[in-house]
Structure 1
């Protein structure tokens, strides 16, 4: 993160040395106020959230032998996140992050550990679904909390003249980190499930939550969060329902739908040959181009607007998803997944950047939690639907579903671009 911020703030080759010096100083100031350990801590603390849905799916399929049931449990976790996620964000906006993250993290770690015992027992399927809902509801919302902390630092500590550039690169990094963990998380689940046992992935998620989420909650940056004394500065909650912002949430939902359809169909395809545990490993191929282009998106010219990036890279996703749908051998699937990754990263960066622009005053954590919850909900629901398609119609039919979800992402991008804007695309500035 440190090198990334400093590199991205260097300006154009023709930028005056004084501008470059001040911009680098501003980035260094952000890093100094956040603390050098903050960025790796915030990254690792996100992993349990990304591992949760895939880990539940993998464990249930392995122990109960049903892709459909595994998908339903993933969907149940997503429902829990949908119900509680935005509420946790609103609570953090009002009460501060520490009061929310510490108890939620401890509860979530305990539920993850208990889930392993319940799955391996003779407990009815309904009990599994109930626990999955609770796991999703208690999932710590690290990504939106991290964005809100960094925005607070930039707003309070960075010179006004440097805020736009520093915040732009910071948001690009944060979006890239989000997208990367949604690739790395399933990849870790695949490694642990293949090398040892599927239950170990859930144990790992519980341990990461207990240690790193708690450490993130107690990090000094948590003190920068607004408490009840600033609640009067919050915009009315109804502003969260603006059409422009809701199209971005719909786009994030489409990303989640894509993740779920791709992973579950891939699992079904490999499971036909007895290699279902390898799905997370192949799924991780998407992370290569995805992480590279997400991190590099801050270097795109300003005239290449966030809306245009969304449409461009979502269209690339659609083309690659069509190739994935017709693939019948592992090499072709890997190539398609690699190209898909090149589209996912910049699309997510664009969506989160647009959400930051459109976030009502004092509602940053709530807004970002809406997007994060939309991704998880989409992934969970799509996992359930795709799992049912795998069991009833076969994996090859299910492999067409990622293309359908990619088309929805393109449609949401078109709806956002054609809806009446409050303001034109601009550089990110604090609310």
Structure 2
């Protein structure tokens, strides 16, 4: 029997069975390790806030230190990603992890020392500046593996599903991280969350760095061509709207948690803030995973314009009530909007990352989350203390509006890109093709 005697459908089935899958390419241990390895990054803002408030007795000082963490991440997060693009993720992550553990250890000591406050600021800045960018580097690995190993026809669907998973993982981590900080600080000491972050960094960030998927210096399209796009290719309107949108999502995280803490403190049940906040994370993670089921005809620009208004509506309801059942419903509605929005933003980042600059762009987006979270936590903490809970509850509305503005700007950016189709890009994910 020759190949011509075999039905076409049977040949396609055989080819699909013999072709590699994402799980076979990355291994079974990859996703659990990558999931836990991003936990310290989600703990540091609230962990530093908790530690400084306990050690120095000042809520405003704690908020400023949280902002310093965000500032360090904002200034150095993209450089860590750029270093990974140049020298490979393995060495960069190992060095960053060691430096971050040293900064966390210094913070745990200096807060209770007689040294002045500006030394504490330096420690907080160093923590943010050395934070290993696990989540964006995980996305970068997945994008490169999908674009280089999987068959062309399967790439868009697999990439969409993995971006949905990665965003859902971030949702869970950024909700569970503050909860874990509160748990450790309550049952042990305020230093316990910092110690926990050090241990998880040493074990899981190192495991993520040493995983076989991090061995290659460059993968995917960039390795095949042996070149990278100029750094200026990252500073475009298309990348800017992504960073703006992700920054808005981070502001939603930080401002909502701070507002709920102020609200529950007013009613004498401050310990319930984390549990109530988790409602938003549950809805967000579920909807983020469901993005994998969206049809390809549901374009990325349309998804962002569809779900960002839902986020705004939920935040408006949250700001206009003091009824706990309505607050829970508002958080569920916010989660419905925020999950798909975050998935869409990172899918856009994967699509618009210039050749060989995937880790850098993903790190810029990942840093924007922590910057937004830390800035909004600091601002909203001060507002809650000086202006009252009602004002603090309105900040998530402004944060949600930033996400919506990014969606509107992205529509215009997309139309301009459509009018200039010959401009080279790293890859066209939704179109199931690569362009150079």
Per the normalisation by structure 1, the TM-score is: 0.89
| Contact 2:152/2:432 (<8 A) preserved | no
Confirm or deny that 1:55 pairs with 2:47.
yes
Matched residue of 1:400: which SS? helix
The match for 1:317 is 311
- CA separation in 1, counterparts of 2:180 and 2:144? 32
- CA separation in 2, counterparts of 1:327 and 1:44? 36
- CA separation in 2, counterparts of 1:54 and 1:429? 42
Structure 1 residues 142-221: aligned runs within 5 Å: 142-221=134-213
Residue 81 (structure 1) aligned to one of 63, 68, 73: 73
Unaligned runs of 5+ in 2: 1-8, 422-427
Assess, with a 3 A threshold, how the Cα gap between structure 1 residues 269 and 360 changes in structure 2: closer, same or farther: same
| Contact 1:51/1:185 (<8 A) preserved | yes
The match for 1:393 is 387
The match for 1:331 is 325
How far does the alpha carbon of each residue in 1:298-353 deviate from its partner, in whole angstroms, 9 at most, with x for none? 10122221111112211111111111112324433333222211111100000000
Assess, with a 3 A threshold, how the Cα gap between structure 1 residues 416 and 377 changes in structure 2: closer, same or farther: same
| Contact 2:243/2:368 (<8 A) preserved | yes
- CA separation in 2, counterparts of 1:81 and 1:51? 14
Confirm or deny that 1:353 pairs with 2:342.
no
- CA separation in 1, counterparts of 2:223 and 2:399? 42
| Contact 1:141/1:369 (<8 A) preserved | yes
The root-mean-square deviation of aligned C-alpha atoms, in Å, is: 2.4
1:231 Cα deviation (Å)? 9.4
The match for 1:265 is 259
Matched residue of 1:191: which SS? helix
- CA separation in 2, counterparts of 1:273 and 1:124? 35
The match for 2:425 is none
The match for 2:31 is 39
The match for 1:368 is 362
Whose radius of gyration is greater, 1 or 2?
Answer: 2
Unaligned runs of 5+ in 1: 1-15
- CA separation in 2, counterparts of 1:133 and 1:231? 38
The match for 2:230 is 236
- CA separation in 2, counterparts of 1:121 and 1:251? 39
The match for 2:112 is 120
| Contact 1:148/1:225 (<8 A) preserved | no
Q: How many positions carry a matched residue from both structures?
A: 415
1:64 Cα deviation (Å)? 3.1
- CA separation in 2, counterparts of 1:71 and 1:231? 46
The match for 1:422 is 417
Confirm or deny that 1:255 pairs with 2:262.
no
Residue 90 (structure 1) aligned to one of 66, 82, 87: 82
| Contact 1:356/1:428 (<8 A) preserved | no
